[in-house]
C-alpha cells in the first residue's frame, strides 16, 4: 500500500497538470481578448495634426488637417469628394468659387472674402499654401457645398448624402472590434442601450458604426431591435439655380465669316437671302489680339439692326485664333489670358459689355487649340462669363470639338450645366492640312459624337454643326495635299470632270476617286444626300438644333433641308 500511494499521487498530479493545461487552452481559445487597438495605427495617422476622413460609411485614403483649431481639406480632396467648383489662381494667390450668380474670392492666408454682396469676415484663415498643396477651411467649403462634417479626436465624419439608415440596439455591454473575432483588438467599449448603425450583417458578426463614427465589428448576439431612421440632411445650404435661356423651337445658326471692318454689312443681304430657315446669325467679329485680353472688334450696329429686322438673333463670335493668323508677329497666348484671374475676368466683362453695347442677343465662344493645362482655366472663364451673361440676358453658347477621351478637359458636363447651348462642331474628322485622306464628317463620326455629348449635356442644349464644304485629297507618292470645295461648288466640280460618284454606305456620303498623272484623287462628298442622313440622326436624338459652317457655302436645297428640320 505504501508503494501505491506515491504512484497515485503522481498520477493525480499529472492529471491535475493536464487539466490545468487543458483549461488554460480552452480559456485562451474562448475567452474575449482585451487588447486595445492602436487608434493612431487604425486611422493611419502618421503625422501630428491629421484627421482620418470617414466619408459616409467608409474611411478614405486622404486625410484632413487640424490647424489653429480649424479643419482643412487639401484642394484635391475638396474637388474629388465635395465640390469641384473651387478654382485656384497661383499667379495672383487667390481662391475663387463661381456659382450661378456670383464669384467669391479669397486671398491666400486671409480671413476675409469678397463677392458681389460685399463679402465677409471669417474666424479662420480661409486657405493657405503648404508646398504645392492648397488647403481650404472645411467651414468655408460649407458656404458653397451641400455637405456636413463632425469632428472627433482622430477622425472626421463627412456626409454628402442622406437617406434611411438601419440601426440596432446594444443589448449587453460589449466591444467594437477591428475585425470579426473575439480576439480582435478593441476599438471602443459599447454600453447596453446604445444604438449603432448597421452597415453589414454576417453570420455571427455585424459591421456597425457607432454614434461617434467608429466603424468596426460587434457580435450579433449582443445586438437587437432592428429599426429604420431617416437621416437629417443639411438645411442651411441652398444651391443657386443655373437658369438658362432657350429659344422657342430648334436653333438654326449660320456662322458669318467676316474678315474686315464693314465686311459683314457688304454681303449681309446675300447671306440672309441664302439662309432660309436660319434664326440665329453668328458673325465672326471678335478675336483676341494679345496675351492681356485685348481683342479686335469688327462689330457694326447697323448689321445688328438689319438682322433683327429680318427676325434673326445675333450671337457675336469671340475666337482666339483669327487675329493671330491674319497678323504677322502677333503673340496671343490663350493660357496666359485664362490663367490670370484679373485678365480673364476683364475679358469676360468686356465680352458682356461689348455685346450689350451693340445690342447683341448672345455670345458664341470659339476658343480652339487649347491643351489640357488650359482646361481648368477655360472652364473657370466660362463659369465667370456665364454669370455675366445670365445677369445681362445674353444667350451663351460655346463651340466644341467632337468629344473624345483626349479632349475631355473641355468638360462638356460642366458646360451642359452652366451654358445655354453647347455646340458640337461635327466635322474635321479629317481636316485641311492633316495629310490624312478621309471624310470630313462620316455618319459614324457624327452619330458617335452626339451620343457621347448626350451622356453629359441635356439634349435641348446640344446643337450639332454641319459642314457646308468637303475636301478633295490628292496623294502623289508620299505627299498628300488637299483642296476645299464648298457645297455650292460640288455640282460644278463633278460636271467639269464628267464623273459620277458612288454612294458609300459606311460614311453615308457619295464617294469618288480616280488617278491622273500619278496622283490619286479622293473625295467624300457633302451634299443634300449626306446632310439629309445627318439631320435624320439629329432629329432622332431630339437635340436643340443645327449650325452650319458657313454662310456663303450653302445651296437652296441644303437650306430647304435645314428649314424642314427646324420646323419638324
Q: Where are the domains of the chain?
A: 42-155, 163-230, 251-425
> Partners of 114 in the beta sheet?
105
pLDDT value for 236: 84
Dist. CA 58–CA 199, nearest whole Å: 10
Q: Compute the mean pLDDT over every residue in the chain, rounded to the nearest whole number.
A: 95
The single-letter DSSP state of residue 233 is: P
- pTM value? 0.93
E-strand ranges in 174-238 read 174-177, 186-190, 195-201, 205-209, 215-219, 223-230
Q: Write out the three cell numbers for 213.
A: 463614427
163-230 CATH: 2.30.30.40
Give the cell for residue 87. 478654382
Q: Give the residue among 468, 469, 482 at the shortest CA–CA distance from 434.
A: 482
Query: What is the edge-to-edge ordering of all strands in the sheet holding 519-525?
Result: 479-486, 469-476, 519-525, 509-516, 502-504
Give start and end residues of each alpha helix (H) in 71-210. Answer: 75-77, 138-142
CA distance 502 to 512: 7
Say how far apart CA 340 and CA 89 lie, in whole Å: 7
Tens-digit pLDDT profile for residues 299-355: 999 999 999 999 999 999 999 999 999 999 999 999 999 999 999 999 999 999 999
Question: Are the beta carbons of 375 and 84 closer than 8 angstroms?
Answer: no
Cβ partners under 8 Å of residue 20, min gap 6: none
Cell readout for 283 is: 458673325
Supply the pLDDT for residue 27.
47
Tally of CB atoms within 10 A around 115: 18
* In contact, 521 and 528? CB cutoff 8 Å: no
Spatial CB neighbours of 259, under 8 Å, sequence gap ≥ 6: 284, 322, 326
CB neighbour list of residue 14: distance below 8 Å, 6 or more residues apart: none
Per-residue pLDDT at 12 = 65
Distance in angstroms (rounded) separating the CA atoms of residues 455 and 436:
29
CATH superfamily of this structure's domain 251-425: Glycosidases (3.20.20.80)
Residues (pLDDT < 50) of the chain are 26-27
Amino acid at each position: 500500500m505504501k508503494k501505491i500511494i506515491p504512484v497515485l499521487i503522481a498520477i493525480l498530479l499529472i492529471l491535475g497538470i493536464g487539466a490545468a493545461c487543458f483549461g488554460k487552452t480552452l480559456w485562451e481559445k474562448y475567452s474575449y481578448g482585451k487588447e486595445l487597438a492602436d487608434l493612431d495605427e487604425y486611422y493611419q495617422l502618421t503625422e501630428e495634426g491629421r484627421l482620418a476622413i470617414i466619408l459616409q460609411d467608409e474611411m478614405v485614403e486622404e486625410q484632413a488637417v487640424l490647424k489653429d483649431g480649424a479643419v482643412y481639406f487639401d484642394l484635391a480632396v475638396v474637388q474629388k469628394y465635395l465640390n469641384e467648383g473651387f478654382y485656384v489662381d497661383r499667379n495672383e494667390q487667390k481662391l475663387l468659387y463661381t456659382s450661378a450668380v456670383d464669384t467669391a474670392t479669397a486671398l491666400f492666408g486671409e480671413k476675409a472674402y469678397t463677392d458681389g454682396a460685399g463679402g465677409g469676415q471669417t474666424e479662420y484663415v480661409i486657405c493657405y499654401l503648404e508646398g504645392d498643396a492648397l488647403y481650404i477651411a472645411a467651414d468655408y467649403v460649407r458656404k458653397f457645398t451641400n455637405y456636413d462634417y463632425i469632428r472627433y479626436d482622430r477622425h472626421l465624419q463627412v456626409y454628402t448624402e442622406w437617406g434611411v439608415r438601419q440601426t440596432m440596439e446594444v443589448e449587453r455591454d460589449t466591444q467594437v472590434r477591428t475585425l470579426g473575432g473575439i480576439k480582435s483588438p478593441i476599438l471602443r467599449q459599447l454600453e447596453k442601450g446604445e444604438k449603432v448603425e448597421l452597415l453589414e450583417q454576417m453570420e455571427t458578426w455585424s459591421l456597425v458604426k457607432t454614434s461617434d463614427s467608429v466603424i468596426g465589428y460587434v457580435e450579433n448576439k449582443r445586438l437587437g431591435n432592428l429599426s429604420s431612421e431617416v437621416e437629417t440632411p443639411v438645411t442651411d445650404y441652398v444651391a443657386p439655380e443655373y437658369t438658362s435661356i432657350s429659344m422657342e423651337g430648334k436653333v438654326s445658326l449660320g456662322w458669318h465669316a467676316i474678315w474686315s471692318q464693314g465686311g459683314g454689312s457688304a454681303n449681309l443681304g446675300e447671306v440672309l437671302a441664302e439662309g432660309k430657315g436660319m434664326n440665329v446669325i453668328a458673325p465672326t467679329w471678335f478675336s483676341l489680339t494679345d496675351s492681356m485680353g485685348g481683342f479686335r472688334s469688327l462689330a457694326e450696329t447697323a448689321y445688328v439692326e438689319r438682322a433683327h429686322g429680318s427676325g434673326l438673333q445675333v450671337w457675336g463670335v469671340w475666337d482666339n485664333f483669327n487675329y493671330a493668323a491674319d497678323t504677322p508677329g502677333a503673340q496671343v497666348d490663350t493660357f496666359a489670358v485664362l490663367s490670370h484671374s484679373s485678365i480673364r475676368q476683364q475679358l469676360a466683362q468686356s465680352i458682356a459689355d461689348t455685346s450689350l453695347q451693340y445690342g447683341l442677343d448672345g455670345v458664341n465662344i470659339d476658343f480652339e487649340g487649347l491643351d489640357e493645362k488650359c482646361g481648368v482655366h477655360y472652364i473657370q472663364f466660362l463659369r465667370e462669363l456665364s454669370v455675366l451673361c445670365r445677369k445681362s440676358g445674353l444667350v451663351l453658347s460655346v463651340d466644341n470639338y467632337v468629344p473624345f477621351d483626349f479632349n475631355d478637359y473641355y468638360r462638356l458636363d460642366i458646360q451642359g450645366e452652366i451654358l445655354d447651348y453647347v455646340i458640337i462642331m461635327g466635322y474635321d474628322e479629317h481636316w485641311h492640312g492633316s495629310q490624312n485622306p478621309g471624310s470630313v464628317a462620316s455618319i459614324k463620326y457624327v452619330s458617335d459624337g452626339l451620343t457621347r455629348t448626350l451622356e453629359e449635356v441635356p439634349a435641348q442644349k446640344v446643337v450639332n454643326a454641319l459642314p457646308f464644304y468637303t475636301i478633295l485629297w490628292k496623294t502623289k507618292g508620299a505627299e498628300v495635299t488637299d483642296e476645299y470645295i464648298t457645297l455650292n461648288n460640288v455640282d460644278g466640280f463633278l460636271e467639269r470632270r464628267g464623273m459620277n460618284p458612288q454612294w458609300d454606305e459606311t460614311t453615308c456620303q457619295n464617294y469618288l476617286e480616280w488617278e491622273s498623272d500619278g496622283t490619286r484623287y479622293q473625295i467624300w462628298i457633302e451634299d443634300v444626300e449626306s446632310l439629309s442622313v445627318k439631320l435624320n440622326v439629329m432629329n432622332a436624338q431630339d437635340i436643340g438644333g443645327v449650325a452650319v459652317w458657313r454662310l456663303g457655302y450653302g445651296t437652296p436645297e441644303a437650306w430647304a433641308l435645314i428649314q424642314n428640320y427646324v420646323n419638324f
